[in-house]
Amino acid sequence: MTSDQLMMLLVGALLAFMMYRQFAGKVAPERARELVAQGARLVDVRSPGEFAGGHLPGAVNIPVGEIGSRHGEIGERSKPVVVYCASGMRSASAASTLKGLGFLEVHDLGSIARWGG
């Protein structure tokens, strides 16, 4: 194997790893839409300013830093919840917090851009 081939292999592996990390643990957009259509609570964990600039229909805005104190607004812990943000970092944090608070079915969409449809 030449050094160029090895370099291409390493770059490919790095890109694959980065893609995996970005979407690991995320719910598929189709499944998220299905869950919401079936009554799951949709929670936008971005800032109020970001929410005011545009959000998914039916979403409630609870910024990630307020999830712990405002989780009562989400509803029953046994009901499904779908969280999202701008890039996926805050939604991952919010999902972890909600699971720690006893929510049984938390789905992390990640970025609002993944909603599509």
Phi, psi of 37 (to 5 degrees): -60, -30
Burial of 19-38, coded b for 16+ CB within 10 Å and e otherwise, reads: eeeeeeebbebeebbebbee
What are the residue numbers of the active site? Answer: 85
Residue with token string 């800032």: 47
